[in-house]
């Protein structure tokens, strides 16, 4: 190959690290919804912090353009019988509910054709819930799923079956059959009231529990033929009365919001169309103390994880720990850049950025023995070797026109796969630094692994300065049948903007 030909190859999409086959929808989209990781956002209306920041329609538009498939709307009673959207009991500004729904309808299917879930955090009175139902039906029209599909009366439909449909996630009373029977009836003024369990503890008291709400976990040890018991303690619950307007309740079909109590209760009573929301603190405990039960739960039911209330600055947790146990909807604050959102955006680059990623078989199988916290038996690891050759027009340091450049390569995945390596520092050269360093990673569970390249400028006194990054799934690095080759890694800013032509030049090869 001539020098000119090699230069053209480097600037082409064929040279990019990301496999261009993953830029289109290539996975099987006919599995039930619970078999997919679903791109999800938290408090989507906020574009800053959780206490005094503005609420803005751009929060929804931006999330949808990034491929998000589950939006959250906090709904409260407004003046003149118009429901409003804002973070209750704070100084955040307010949006009209109908304005939010209008924006969602306009941008819902620009990035992805697959179903969009509107998760309602509903604090409205029954009368304003009826207004919400009218707005949803009038604005969304035929895009709103308001009746079960004939082929799916007792199981979750697939993303393929729900293409171009918008689903409402909210509390619901009654069965899908009852909903169908009263589909064309007048529901004005009809209110459903029922009891619901809610956590009674404050954030700092969440470790205090009642014995009756603890989960008694039985673990089998096939090698020793013994059974060990451990108690996973969950927060205390109390009952409260909930009122739901029938008109809004009947718009909830396959995404009924159900309070999570414990895994034993879910196994006995939870229905196929019921989904749970679990706070990150509780979910983190469960992922460590009852990981097998957690994975069994997520193999059957859609589970949404949301940030704890103390994240007033809209910071995010690391979503990887919850993807590792199969949680479908790991909701992040999309307005906050950083490592968690880099992982979120990188993961959902796969499968055409459609917002749905088919979970690995071992997270869909109800008989699975997979445990992300332990060393795997009989695994099929991938050996990944990367020779980091050079940088191409890296962004200069903000404090000078040069940079003391270094590159950090991080693997995120199951516990034994998480590792970080870095290059030496190239002093005063951001334009064309050359490292020629080789790194090898043995990845036990590549199906869940993400790789992140971070370029920094060394600053011993103030801490290293971020220059750019790129994150993608490890299995999206493959180029057809070619397990090795020269690859260019494009760099992105902290807020996700392309820094072209800034990039890294590497040689990659892998064996499995």
What does the pLDDT read at residue 396? 86
Sign of the torsion formed by the C-alpha atoms of 93, 99, 101 and 105: negative
Going by the DSSP 8-state scheme, the letter that residue 213 receives in this structure is: G
- pLDDT of 219 reads 45
Q: Dihedral sign, CA of 160, 166, 170, 173?
A: negative
| Of 31, 42, 123, 297, catalytic | 42
CB 90 within 8 A of CB 76: no
Per-residue pLDDT at 14:
79
The H-or-E segment that residue 268 falls in is helix 263-269
Work out whether the CA dihedral 451, 70, 74, 205 comes out positive or negative. negative
Q: Are 100 and 135 in contact (CB under 8 A)?
A: no
- Burial label for 80, CB within 10 Å (0-12, 13-18, 19+), is exposed
What pLDDT score does 207 carry?
38
d(CA 323, CA 318): 10
Structural contact between residues 505 and 488, judged by C-beta atoms closer than 8 angstroms: yes
According to DSSP, residue 144 is labeled B
How far apart CA 333 and CA 308 sit, in angstroms, is 11
CB 119 within 8 A of CB 252: no
The per-residue DSSP string of 386-422 comes to EEEEEEESPPPPTTSS---EEEEEEEESSGGG-EEEE
Element (H, E) at 240: strand 237-245
Predicted confidence at residue 230, as pLDDT, reads 44
Is residue 297 annotated as a catalytic residue, yes or no? no
pLDDT at residue 199 in the model: 64
User: What are the backbone angles phi and psi of residue 150, rounded to the nearest 5°?
Assistant: -60, -35
**pLDDT of the chain along its 512 residues, tens only?**
777 777 777 777 778 999 999 999 999 999 999 999 999 999 999 999 999 999 999 999 999 999 999 999 999 999 999 999 999 999 999 999 999 999 999 999 999 999 999 999 999 999 999 999 999 999 999 999 999 999 999 999 999 999 999 999 999 999 999 999 998 899 999 998 887 776 654 333 333 333 334 444 444 444 444 444 444 555 566 778 889 999 999 999 999 999 999 999 999 999 999 999 999 999 999 999 999 999 999 999 999 999 999 999 999 999 999 999 999 999 999 999 999 999 999 999 999 999 999 999 999 999 999 999 998 877 889 999 999 999 999 998 887 778 899 999 999 999 999 999 999 999 999 999 999 999 999 999 999 999 999 999 998 888 899 999 999 999 999 766 677 899 999 999 999 999 999 999 999 998 88
The CA distance from 44 to 334, in Å, is 7
Helix, strand, coil fractions of the chain, as percent rounded to 5: 25, 30, 45
Write the DSSP assignment of 435-472 as a string of letters: EEEEEEEEES-TTT-EEEEEEEE--TTT-PEEEEEEEE
The token pair at 472 is: 């993608």
Q: Which of 31, 87, 123, 297 is catalytic?
A: 87
12: which 2 tokens? 């082409």
Q: Give the pLDDT score at 2.
A: 76
Report CA 318 to chain centroid distance, whole Å. 10
Q: State the helix-helix crossing angle for 291-300 and 280-289, rounded to 10 degrees.
A: 120
Q: Tell me which residue of 113, 107, 7, 24 sits closest to 349, measured CA to CA.
A: 24
> Which pLDDT belongs to residue 209?
35
29-49 residues labelled b (16+ CB within 10 A) or e (exposed)? bebbbbbbbbbbbbbbbbbbb
CA-based nearest residue to 297, from 319, 325, 332, 321: 325
Query: The tokens 């304005």 sit on which residue?
Result: 99
């Amino acid at each position: 190959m001539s020098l000119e030909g090699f230069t053209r190859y480097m600037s082409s999409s064929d040279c990019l690290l990301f496999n261009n086959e993953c830029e289109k929808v290539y996975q099987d989209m006919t599995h039930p919804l619970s078999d997919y990781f679903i791109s999800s956002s938290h408090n989507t209306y906020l574009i800053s912090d959780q206490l005094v920041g503005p609420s803005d329609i751009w929060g929804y538009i931006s999330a949808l353009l990034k491929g998000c498939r589950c939006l959250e709307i906090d709904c409260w009673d407004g003046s003149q019988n118009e429901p409003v959207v804002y973070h209750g009991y704070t100084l955040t500004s307010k949006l009209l509910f109908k304005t939010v729904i209008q924006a969602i309808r306009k941008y819902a299917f620009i990035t992805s054709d697959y179903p969009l879930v509107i998760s309602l955090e509903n604090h409205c009175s029954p009368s304003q819930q009826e207004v919400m139902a009218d707005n949803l039906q009038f604005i969304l029209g035929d895009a709103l799923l308001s009746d079960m599909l004939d082929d799916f009366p007792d199981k979750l439909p697939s993303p393929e079956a729900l293409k171009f449909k918008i689903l409402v996630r909210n509390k619901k009373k009654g069965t899908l059959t009852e909903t169908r029977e009263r589909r064309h009836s007048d529901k004005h003024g009809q209110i459903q009231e029922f009891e619901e369990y809610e956590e009674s503890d404050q954030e700092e008291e969440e470790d205090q529990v009642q014995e009756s709400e603890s989960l008694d976990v039985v673990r089998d040890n096939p090698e020793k033929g013994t059974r060990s018991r451990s108690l996973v303690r969950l927060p205390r619950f109390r009952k409260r009365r909930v009122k739901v307007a029938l008109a809004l309740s009947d718009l909830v079909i396959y995404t009924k919001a159900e309070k999570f109590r414990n895994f034993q209760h879910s196994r006995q009573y939870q229905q196929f169309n019921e989904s749970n929301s679990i706070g990150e603190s509780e979910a983190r405990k469960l992922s460590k103390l009852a990981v097998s039960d957690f994975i069994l739960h997520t193999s059957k039911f859609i589970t949404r994880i949301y940030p704890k209330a103390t994240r007033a600055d809209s910071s995010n947790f690391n979503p990887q720990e919850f993807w590792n146990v199969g949680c479908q909807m790991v909701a992040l604050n999309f307005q906050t850049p950083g490592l968690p959102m880099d992982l979120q955006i990188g993961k959902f680059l796969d499968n055409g950025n459609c917002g749905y990623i088919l979970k690995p078989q071992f997270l869909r199988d109800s008989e699975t023995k997979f445990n992300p916290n332990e060393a795997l038996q009989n695994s099929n690891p991938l050996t990944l070797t990367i020779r980091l050759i050079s940088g191409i027009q890296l962004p200069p340091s903000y404090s000078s026109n040069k940079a003391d450049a270094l590159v950090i390569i991080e693997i995120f995945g199951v516990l034994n796969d998480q590792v970080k390596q870095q290059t030496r520092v190239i002093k005063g050269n951001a334009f064309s630094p050359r490292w020629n360093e080789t790194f090898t990673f043995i990845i036990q569970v590549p199906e869940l692994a993400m790789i992140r390249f971070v370029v920094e400028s060394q600053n011993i006194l103030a801490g290293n300065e971020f220059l750019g990054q790129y994150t993608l799934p490890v299995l999206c690095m493959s180029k057809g049948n070619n397990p090795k080759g020269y690859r260019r890694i494009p760099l992105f800013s902290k807020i996700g903007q392309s820094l072209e032509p800034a990039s890294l030049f590497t040689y990659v090869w892998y064996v499995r």
